[in-house]
Amino acid sequence: MEKVNERLINWASMLEEETRKQAEKASRLPFIFPHIALMPDAHLGKGATVGSVIPTLGAIVPAAVGVDIGCGMAAVRTQYHRDELKPGLAKLRTAIENAVPLSAGSYNVSVTEDRTRRRLDELSAKAEKAGFDPARYAGNWELQLGTLGSGNHFIEVTADETGQVWLFLHSGSRGVGNKIATHHIRVAQESMKRWWIDLPDPDLAYLAEGTDEFWAYIRQLRWAQDFALANRDEMMDRVVDCFAEYVGGPVRELERVQCHHNYTEQEKHFGKKVWLSRKGAINAEKGRPGLIPGSMGDASYVVVGKGNPVSLNSSPHGAGRQLSRSKARKTFTRDQLREAMKGIEYRDTDAFLDEIPGAYKPIDVVMRDADDLVEVRHTLRQIVNVKGD
Quick one: which of 277, 298, 286 has its CA closest to 206? 277
H and E: helices and strands count for the chain: 9, 17
Strand partners, 353: none
Cα–Cα distance for residue pair 19/5, rounded to 1 Å: 15
Cβ atoms of residues 64 and 35 within 8 Å: no
What is the structure's pLDDT at 104? 86
What is the structure's pLDDT at 304? 98
Q: How far is CA 231 from CA 225, 238, 362, in A?
A: 10, 11, 29
Instruction: Give the E-state strand segments of the chain in sequence order.
Output: 2-5, 8-10, 36-43, 50-56, 59-60, 72-81, 154-159, 164-171, 207-208, 255-260, 262-269, 272-279, 281-283, 289-292, 300-305, 314-316, 374-387
Q: In the predicted model, what is the mean pLDDT of the chain? A: 96
Kindly list the catalytic residues: 317
**Domain 2-387: what homologous superfamily?**
tRNA-splicing ligase RtcB (3.90.1860.10)
Other CB atoms within 10 A of residue 138 CB? 18
Quick one: which of 278, 369, 368 has its CA closest to 70? 278
Quick one: which of 94, 88, 108, 101 has its CA closest to 347? 94
Q: What are phi and psi of 164, to 5 degrees?
A: -65, 135
**∠ CA 320-219-182, rounded to 5°:** 50
Polymer length in residues for the chain: 389
- The burial of 94, by beta-carbon neighbours within 10 Å (0-12 exposed, 13-18 middle, 19 or more buried), is given as middle
Kind of pairing, strands 255-260 and 72-81?
antiparallel
Cβ atoms of residues 11 and 369 within 8 Å: yes
What is the structure's pLDDT at 105? 86
What is the structure's pLDDT at 303? 98
Helices 114-130 & 212-247, crossing angle to 10 degrees?
170
- The burial of 126, by beta-carbon neighbours within 10 Å (0-12 exposed, 13-18 middle, 19 or more buried), is given as middle
pTM of the model: 0.97
What is the structure's pLDDT at 112? 87
User: What string of pLDDT tens digits covers the 389 residues of the chain?
Assistant: 999 999 999 999 999 999 999 999 999 999 999 999 999 999 999 989 999 999 999 999 999 999 999 999 999 999 999 999 989 999 999 999 999 999 888 999 999 889 999 999 999 999 999 999 999 999 999 999 999 999 899 999 999 999 999 999 999 999 999 999 999 999 999 999 999 999 989 999 999 999 999 999 999 999 999 999 999 999 999 999 999 999 999 999 999 999 999 999 999 999 999 999 999 999 999 999 999 999 888 999 999 999 999 999 999 999 989 888 999 999 999 999 999 999 999 999 989 999 999 999 999 999 999 999 999 999 999 999 999 98
Cβ atoms of residues 163 and 83 within 8 Å: yes
DSSP letter (8 states) at residue 49: P
Cα 277 off chain centre by: 13
Hey, where are the domains in the chain?
2-387
Under 8 Å CB-to-CB from 87, ≥6 apart: which residues? none
